[in-house]
Structure 1
Amino acid sequence: MEALSCILEHDPVRLVPLTDDHIEPLRAACRLDQEIWEIYPVNLGGDGFDGAIALWRSSDWVNFAVIDTRSDSLVGTTSYIRPTQFGVVEIGGTYIAPEVRGGPFNRAMKKLLIENAFACGFHKVELRADSRNKRSMAAIRKLGAKHEGTLRANLVTWTGYRRDTAVFGLLKDEWHG
């Protein structure tokens, strides 16, 4: 897991292991889009921020602050989730501010994470999305990940919604950058 926790950079993205110094800038970035939290498992845009961050930091997640190198500002967070001894890691817990969403920034960020995971010896990367989040699922498919199925009502979100989770997988030999 330590090998996954490193600084990753390719303009315009820098991923830095999340530290206490990132918490308040991350809180500010998460407040920029209150509506998006309705389709997230937790609410980083409001009162749930501290609890969600505490949970992530106490788990086996490898958490990153996402920096936009063009402005040197913190614009979000992403994580490696549950890296296993069996060579599988999930990329998730991702939020990026509206000004960098929907363009090449997200792809550059995911490319850094995917390539680092494969370089660290993982043979499969998984990505998951709320089945209501069509934008995220389209972005995941553009990476070359295959839809492996949907877990029905497998997660209760902070709003009480029972979410269906679309699971995608990307094998090392399928990755074309």
Structure 2
Amino acid sequence: MTDLAAAMTGEGCRAEPFGEDHRAMLIAACAEDRDIWAIYSSSFDPDHFDESIDALSANPRNHVLVLFDGDTLAGMASFLGIDPARQTLEIGATYYRPAMRGTGLNARVKDMMLERAFSCGFRRVEFRVDRRNERSQAACKKLGAVREGVLRADRITWTGHVRDTVLFAILKDEWPIAGAPAA
């Protein structure tokens, strides 16, 4: 069985497990759009990056990945809340540099990550999105994820905002989505 957290490649993209050698370049990438962090649960802007990435990485139920489009640093994403007993995990904490948005990279990365999760024996992959984040909700729908509902007042974000979370999921037997490229 493939290790969930191992490096992976997809269609013109790849992911590597986060390591200290990625820290400086990921801080710089996350600084390219400081305004976006207002709709994230945690901020990865330069003022908060170290604390946020360290907390995310320290949780043994998470695997943080650094994303590349070809050889260009594209951003980050993670497997979160990994629960082998329930065969469920979340793909989240995703950030793309502004130049990478709208290029089709997200679909290629998510295809790669979904293929890895399902090949590792997970039966359900969730996406949890701030209700205010319309771009991410649209991306989940485009992937073929089913909108399952809204978790009202689900969490308090780093800004103190009480967030409503829109829950999406894809089940193993729904993958690959008809018409979606296989990873």
Shorter-chain TM range is over 0.9
1:114-145: CA deviations, max 9, x gaps? 01100001111000110011110011011111
Cα deviation, residue 58, structure 1? 0.8
Aligned length: 175
Tell me if the contact between 2:28 and 2:46 (Cα under 8 Å) persists in the aligned partners.
no
Residues 3-82 of structure 1: matches in 2 within 5 Å?
A: 3-59=3-59, 60-69=61-70, 72-82=71-81
Q: TM-score of the superposition, structure 1-length normalised?
A: 0.95
Name the SS of the counterpart of 2:29 in structure 1.
Answer: helix
SS at match of 1:111: helix
**Equivalent residue of 1:83, what SS?**
strand
CA distance in 2, matches of 1:27, 1:11: 25
Q: Which stretch has the larger CA shift, 45-54 or 26-35?
A: 45-54
RMSD: 1.4
Runs of 4+ in 1 over 3 A off after TM superposition: none
Unaligned regions of 5+ residues in structure 2, if any? none
Q: In the TM superposition, what whole-angstrom CA distance separates every residue of 1:22-57 from its partner, at most 9, and x where no partner exists?
A: 011000000000111110111111311111011011
1:134-172 Cα distance to aligned partner (Å, 9 max, x none): 110011011111111111111111111111000001011
Provide the TM-score with structure 2 as the length reference.
Answer: 0.92
Amino acid at match of 2:10: H
Aligned residue for 2:165? 165
Identity fraction in percent:
41
Q: Quote the residue 2:102 is aligned against.
A: 102
